[in-house]
DNA sequence: GTCTATAGTGGGATAGAC
DNA sequence: GTCTATCCCACTATAGAC
């Protein structure tokens, strides 16, 4: 077994920990999940968990970091080729919803368990989340600037309301509920852009 | 001190526990809050907490129960005198948002810490929450039935999206943030009914 | 790299005096 | 009705063998 072999094996173990950890954290909560459960999900015993992570909190930090990197990359790419402000908003909504439903465990963990992080860990993740929300705000700002969106709702509240609409989905979405991420996003786009009032 | 006096005193202590408990649970989380902290917030010691509640979980159940009773009563009353389907939707949004921002600690606790409840406790609260969501759905159903709302978004997803828009507010609303509950609700009504697109 | 064993800590809940 | 004292348990993290 070479050094490279060892590294790859370790990386697989870390990835598995993140995957199973996100599942446990999102279903039971961070502090209701024990390191023994985390270890069992990795098929090792409690002590071995600490070979891969210095602490339980460090696993949480890793999951949050990865989730934010994932959604930031997905949305950045989605709006990259947008033809107009409205198109960018539409692409962003689809990309955001697709990401949080496809990786729902890690995004639920990031969105709801972040407060369990302390000190430096907390500061780093909050900063990354703020950067992502700035990205969303800038997409809306562009759509306002080109005249696509009404000015009667100010940029800051409009951004918050869009994030409301997008994020609470983690609490009810389940695979096989009869609605895909893109189908949910379609309805959000209709509602966010045109509202629910009957135009007839 | 009469029996009535004792009862009233006990009731005040229970109310204080619910008030301070909701604050602690919403800020730190249910399982990160100790019974010693709860007792300190009531100005008693750990042991005394158990004179008022059989368990920590029972305090959580009480807080959730009260929050659901409060919002159900508020919204029921608000839509009672509505003149049309659209008016009822508008009144519901205002009433819901006003309630969750004015009693934000208890509603945050109910919405985010419910999963810490087990067995019978859990079943009771989930049932009450389902009843509240049915109320919201019925208000939207009426507005669809009288032709106010478009049919292109089905009732079930429309209800979920409205609850998305309303509920995520607990994660960012702070008193003195420069926006009152009614000001937030105004923007939600505009967005939910007419959308963000510039009509010009 | 994984194990067993355990140190060390803190919290939920109870007992019993006052 | 409130206190002090404490039981008992579970959990995070570490030590050290293999």
Q: Is residue B42 part of a domain?
A: no
Query: Region A27-33: what's the mean pLDDT?
Result: 98
**Interatomic CA distance for residues A24 and A9, integer angstroms:** 22
**Interatomic CA distance for residues A96 and A136, integer angstroms:** 10
Report yes or no on whether pTM surpasses 0.85: yes
A33 touches strand D (CB under 7 A): yes
Q: Is residue B46 part of a domain?
A: no
CATH code for the domain of A132: 1.10.357.10
Distance from CA of A43 to the nearest CA of B (A): 26
Q: Is residue A163 part of a domain?
A: yes
% of chain A beyond a pLDDT of 90: 95
Query: Region A19-46: what's the mean pLDDT?
Result: 98
**Cα B184 to the chain's mean position, in Å?**
16
Q: Chain B partners of A184 at a C-beta cutoff of 8 Å?
A: 157
Q: What is the pLDDT along chain B (200 residues), one digit of tens a residue?
A: 444 556 888 999 999 999 999 999 999 999 999 999 999 999 999 999 999 999 999 999 999 999 999 999 999 999 999 999 999 999 999 999 999 999 999 999 999 999 999 999 999 999 999 999 999 999 999 999 999 999 999 999 999 999 999 999 999 999 999 999 999 999 999 999 999 999 98
Q: Judge: B197–A157 Cβ closer than 8 Å, yes or no.
A: no
* pLDDT beyond 80 at A50: yes
CA–C1' B171–D5 (A): 41
Which among B150, B165, B195 is the nearest to A164, CB-wise? Answer: B165
Q: Tens digits of per-residue pLDDT, A61-99?
A: 999 999 999 999 999 999 999 999 999 999 999 999 999
Q: Is residue B178 part of a domain?
A: yes
Which among A32, A190, A196 is the nearest to B31, CB-wise? Answer: A32
Residues 169-198 (B) near nucleic chain D, CB < 7 A: none
Domain count, chain A: 1
Give the pLDDT confidence score for residue B28 in this predicted structure.
Answer: 97
The A residues from 96 to 135 touching B (CB cutoff 8 Å) are: 112, 115-116
Q: Chain A partners of B31 at a C-beta cutoff of 8 Å?
A: 29, 31-32
Give the pLDDT confidence score for residue A104 in this predicted structure.
Answer: 98
Residue in B153, B164, B184, B192 to test binding to A, most A beta-carbons within 10 Å: B164
The answer to whether residues B86 and A197 touch, using CB atoms and an 8 Å cutoff, is yes
Give the pLDDT confidence score for residue B3 in this predicted structure.
Answer: 47
Mean pLDDT for chain A overall: 96
Q: Is residue A32 part of a domain?
A: no
Sign of CA dihedral A160, A162, A167, A169: positive
Q: Judge: B196–A32 Cβ closer than 8 Å, yes or no.
A: no
Give the pLDDT confidence score for residue A5 in this predicted structure.
Answer: 54
The answer to whether residues A190 and B152 touch, using CB atoms and an 8 Å cutoff, is yes
**In this predicted model, which residue has the larger pLDDT, B173 or A7?**
B173
Query: Which nucleotide is closest to the Cα of A5 by its C1'?
Result: C1
Q: Chain B partners of A149 at a C-beta cutoff of 8 Å?
A: 196-198
What residue in B sits closest to A112 (Cα-Cα)? B112
Confidence of residue A6 (pLDDT cuts 50, 70, 90): low
Q: Alpha helix (H) ranges present in chain A?
A: 3-28, 35-41, 46-52, 56-80, 85-102, 104-113, 119-145, 155-167, 181-194
CA–C1' B11–C14 (A): 23
Q: Chain A partners of B115 at a C-beta cutoff of 8 Å?
A: 28-29
Which among A115, A150, A196 is the nearest to B199, CB-wise? Answer: A150
Range of the domain at B170: 56-194
B163 touches chain A (CB under 8 A): yes
Query: Region A106-117: what's the mean pLDDT?
Result: 98
Query: Region A95-109: what's the mean pLDDT?
Result: 99
Q: Is residue B29 part of a domain?
A: no
Give the pLDDT confidence score for residue B5 in this predicted structure.
Answer: 53
Q: Is residue B77 part of a domain?
A: yes
Q: Is residue B31 part of a domain?
A: no
């Amino acid at each position: 077994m070479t050094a490279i072999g060892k590294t790859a094996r370790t990386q697989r173990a870390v990835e598995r920990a993140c995957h199973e950890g996100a599942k446990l954290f999102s279903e039971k909560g961070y502090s209701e999940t024990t390191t023994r459960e985390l270890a069992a999900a990795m098929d090792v015993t409690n002590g071995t968990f600490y070979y891969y992570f210095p602490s339980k909190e460090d696993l949480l930090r890793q999951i949050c970091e990865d989730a934010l990197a994932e959604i930031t990359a997905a949305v950045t790419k989605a709006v990259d080729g947008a033809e107009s402000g409205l198109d960018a908003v539409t692409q962003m909504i689809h990309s955001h919803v697709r990401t949080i439903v496809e990786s729902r465990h890690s995004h639920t963990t990031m969105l709801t368990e972040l407060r369990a992080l302390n000190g430096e860990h907390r500061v780093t993740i909050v900063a990354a989340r703020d950067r992502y929300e700035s990205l969303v705000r800038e997409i809306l700002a562009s759509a306002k600037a080109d005249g696509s969106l009404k000015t009667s709702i100010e940029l800051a509240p409009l951004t918050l309301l869009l994030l409301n609409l997008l994020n609470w989905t983690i609490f009810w979405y389940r695979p096989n509920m009869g609605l895909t991420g893109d189908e949910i996003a379609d309805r959000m786009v209709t509602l966010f852009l045109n509202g629910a009032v009957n135009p007839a």
